[in-house]
Amino acid sequence: MAALKETVSVVESIDVDAYKYGFSTDIESEKAPKGLNEDIVRYISAKKNEPAWLTQWRLDAYKRWLTMTEPNWARVHYPSVDYQDLYYYAAPKSTPGPKSLDDVDPELLRTYEKLGIPLREQEILAGVETRRVAVDAVFDSVSVATTFKEELGRAGVIFCPISEAVQTHPELVKKYLGSVVPVTDNFYATLNSAVFSDGSFVYIPKGVRCPMELSTYFRINEQKTGQFERTLIIADEGSYVSYLEGCTAPKRDENQLHAAVVELVALDDAEIKYSTVQNWYPGDSEGRGGIYNFVTKRGDCRGRNSHISWTQVETGSAITWKYPSCILRGEGSQGEFYSIAVSNGYQQVDSGTKMLHLGKNTKSRIISKGISAGRSQNTYRGQVSAHRKADGARNFTQCDSLLIGQDCGAHTVPYIESKNPSAQFEHEATTSKISEDQLFYAMQRGLPAEEATALIVNGFVRDVLQQLPMEFAVEAQKLISISLEGSVG
Amino acid sequence: MAQFAAAAGDAFAPMYEEMKLRGAAGLRTAAWETFAAKGLPNRRVESWHYTDLKAALARPAPLAIARGGVEVARAHDSIRLVVLDGAFRPELSDLAALPRGVTVQPLREALTQGTPGIMALLASDDVRTDDAALSLNTALMQDGVVLRIADGVTIERPIEIAGVLSSEEARSSFTRSLVVLGKGARATIVETAGDLTGVAAQDNQALIVRLAPGAMLDLFTHAAGQGETQTRVMSLVAHLDEGAALSAFSLIEGAGLLRRQMFVRIDGEHARLALQGATLARGRDHVDVTLVVDHAKPNGQSRERFRNILDGSSAGVFQGKTIVRPGAQKTDGVMQSKAVLLSDSATMNNKPELEIFADDVQCGHGATCGRLDKDQLFYLMARGVPRGEAEMLLIEGFANEAFEGFGNEALRSFISARVSHWMSGRAA
């Protein structure tokens, strides 16, 4: 009940425009010239002091990208993006590669403080066990700080900006970069391969259970800037890591592009748990502005009995185009996808997952909860397939949609493809509105409509919230209530 | 793209030029243009995601021509109307047995005379979809029957529209029939697609159904082709007015490539729809069941239930889409597709979709795919039923689930017999 009260008080405290991370930071930044061409690609590569092979890799991707067309199969509509009217690189001006937090621009530190992201490594108070989270903070195109590096280093965990990993661990980057999402994968992934700026790199060595949660916090600040981050996580044999990702952006009237690529590799008996709370600026109540979130996320369960789990809470972005997927290659590997996608206003969400069963006895589970309100459109699009050799593959899929209001839409487009008789696939989907009986029941007991709705919605998404690390779950619960603000008439 | 369209157009263009002279030139031209703009669909066309019609019809066979001296055996007791080799054949049909209140007109005649009601129906938005196979059917339709049942008339005995091909060499046929039920009318219609020779026929047949307020139609469609090289598209376009009820059952016995597509528009309140069916496929059969149920008015109910039994190297496809338009509140829709793979090289593709624009609805879908339930097999075998027989029992039971709610006893037992017959042909 406490959480509910908190939810309601948060909802009540908000004005019409509920996005609370909409401020922008006034900080001088260094930008690449506007537009995209080979020189820009070289410029970004030179900025990062990259080896020749990576510069060439980017240039090959750029050339490939020029031959590709933007995908149009998703149920999203937007004016076409002018790729020449964007800045592909923006970095806050400061000493290159700050050695410690003291070198970081105080304006930036204040920004993260306002966002509630701890960049100072907090000491454990005597007798008070707090959970610690290592944070990599990415501001526009660069990583500004990474915490707890030393302590992680003692466990053998590498957690650093990918631009740093290119310098310090080139052999790992070269081996795994693009091995899950190939350069040629799709329009946005190819664009990302050409111009990616920063993101996190994680390597968990054999048999290591990462001693704390790792997290990356993405912030878009500059105007007319695209963010193209690239994250690569490798969990070596028998290791475990839980990784969290958060994101916000200032309120602006223009649409901004965010095209990220995330690659996960799990070797034998390794487990990666990847959680996202996506809270990019969704645009205002008239549908102006907001982030275009075109993201390619894919995990490769390469080893036997490896396990990758995606959990996402999507409340932000004007447009979401995102399908975190699992390639279940290793025998006995498991993939999971838990998703809550909330859309309100004029938001458009087209999200889902792919579970590709290639190996024997692979298992996957998909739980997707879509909530649409306002004039938004919310689509689940997913694929589950069993290869000829995927003996004993199992999948269970449940996608539920909830509609609030009569001007929104909820859609489900699953592709279920089986080439193996011993593969067992089950898929279920429902669409409904908040039941009047439930609402009546709650209101009869004295809850106002808004609070009753929050209660029912929280019940609806409970299966997914349970998968999130605790702090994130509380945050996510609040976010959902805020996103639905104004939807109950 | 233009080149591709031209190539597809080229192959059918002579047929179009020929058919254009047989009435309804305006309709045909519009449909031809829709078709020629994109040509035959390959798998890049989303609604044909799992079936490559372009490859299957790469070499269109010449149009079928009427022949004499052909006998068509009866499969069940019905008042039969025979459409043989693309032409309605009154002399082979039971016209004299038609009850009062039922009228039959050859489609060819309606097109050449431009019968007003029929032309309006054919020009309606329901029929003018952008589906390539249906557009091609409109552009090239040769003949068929126009069956009308007057207001308030109830027909007990099933009326069968039997589509048959008899040619010894590969032929194309484009047939179309219309079934129009007046207010409160009730009937059972059987639609068959078959052939006498098993050659590589290319059959494209369409049934246009229109139900006036309160009309009730039970439709049984039987795809009974022979051989393994046929390409057959069977389209149903149905329009339900207020309080109308359509129950459409399909039994599909695979014979090469078959696409059963259904487009149903619920355009009146409190209409009820059931689309059900079973697919039996083996060898290299490819059976695609695709349906779009469009709820345009409130308080509609739709139920879809399909069963796929796939043996050999066959492939089954189920694509079902339920659309709920803005304002179609209190819609209640449930879609279900289940598949059993009987061999290591069979494939099943399921794509059940929901597209919902109204909030006060209950819609759901379920899809499963796997092999026969081991526990059920064990249960039967533990009671002394040999394995082969136990499998047969389970498969028959599974197939018959698709015909639950079909009230015509005689046709139900005909279906059961067909399933058993198919099962008996299963390689031991």
Task: Supply the ipTM of this predicted assembly.
Answer: 0.87
Residue B422 lies in a domain: no
A409 lies within 8 A of chain B by CB: yes
The contacts of residue A194 (CB under 8 Å, 6+ apart) are A36, A41, A58, A59, A61, A62, A65
Does A175 contact chain B (CB < 8 Å)?
no
Q: CA A143 to CA A133: how far, in whole Å?
A: 17
Beta bridge partners of B369: A425, B339
Question: Per residue of chain A (489 residues), what is the pLDDT tens digit?
Answer: 344 444 444 433 333 346 767 777 777 777 788 888 888 899 989 888 899 999 999 999 999 999 998 888 888 888 888 888 888 888 776 645 455 666 666 776 677 666 666 666 544 444 444 556 677 777 776 676 777 778 888 889 998 889 889 999 999 999 999 999 999 999 999 999 999 988 889 999 999 998 888 888 877 777 777 888 899 999 999 999 999 888 777 777 778 888 999 999 999 999 999 988 888 888 877 778 888 889 999 999 999 999 999 998 888 888 899 999 999 999 999 999 999 888 888 899 999 999 999 999 999 999 999 988 888 999 999 999 999 999 999 999 999 998 888 888 999 999 999 999 999 999 999 888 877 888 888 888 888 887 888 788 888 888 787 777 776 777 777 777 776 766 654
Say whether A482 sits in a helix, a strand or coil: helix
Contact state of B354 with A409 under an 8 Å Cβ cutoff: no
Helix, strand or coil, per DSSP, at residue A389: coil
Kind and range of the H or E run holding A236: none
The alpha carbon of residue B153 and the mean position of all alpha carbons in its chain are separated, in whole angstroms, by: 25
Is residue B92 one of the residues assigned to a domain? yes
Q: How far apart are CA A98 and CA A146, in angstroms?
A: 10
* Boundaries of domain holding B199: 2-373
Question: Which DSSP letter does residue B46 get?
Answer: G
Q: Which helix (DSSP H) or strand (DSSP E) does residue A222 occupy?
A: none
Is residue B139 one of the residues assigned to a domain? Answer: yes
β-bridge partners, A214: A134, A243
Smallest CA–CA distance, residue A372 to chain B, in Å, is 9
- B359 touching A, CB under 8 A? yes
Identity of the amino acid at A408: C
Q: How far is CA B390 from the centre of its chain?
A: 31
Optimal mutation site among B349, B354, B395, interface A, most CBs of chain A within 10 A = B354
The pTM (predicted TM-score) of the whole model is 0.88
Is B108 part of a structural domain of the chain? Answer: yes
Residues 6+ apart with CB under 8 A from B253: B222, B223, B224, B225, B280, B418, B422
In total, how many domains does chain B have?
1
With b for 16 or more beta-carbon neighbours within 10 A and e for fewer, the A305-336 pattern comes to bbbbbbbbbbbbbbbbbbbbbbbbbbbbbbbb
Residue among B339, B342, B363 whose CB faces A431 most closely? B363
Using alpha carbons, select from B262, B252, B246, B263 the residue that is nearest to residue B286.
Answer: B252
Interface contact B366-A426, CB threshold 8 A? yes
- B117: tokens are 């009601």
Question: Does the residue B421 lie in any domain?
Answer: no
Please tell me the distance in Å from B366's CA to the nearest CA on chain A.
4
Residue B418 lies in a domain: no
Q: Per the domain annotation, does B31 fall within a domain?
A: yes
CA dihedral B160, B161, B167, B168 (to 10 degrees): -40
Please check whether residue A408 touches B, CB under 8 A.
yes
**Is B88 a member of any domain?**
yes
- Tell me how far apart the alpha carbons of residues B252 and B418 are, in angstroms, rounded to a whole number: 10
- Which residues of chain A from 106 to 145 reach within 8 Å of chain B, CB to CB? none
Q: What is the DSSP letter of B20?
A: G
Q: CB neighbours of A292 closer than 8 A, spacing ≥ 6?
A: A78, A81, A255, A256, A257, A258, A317, A318, A319, A321
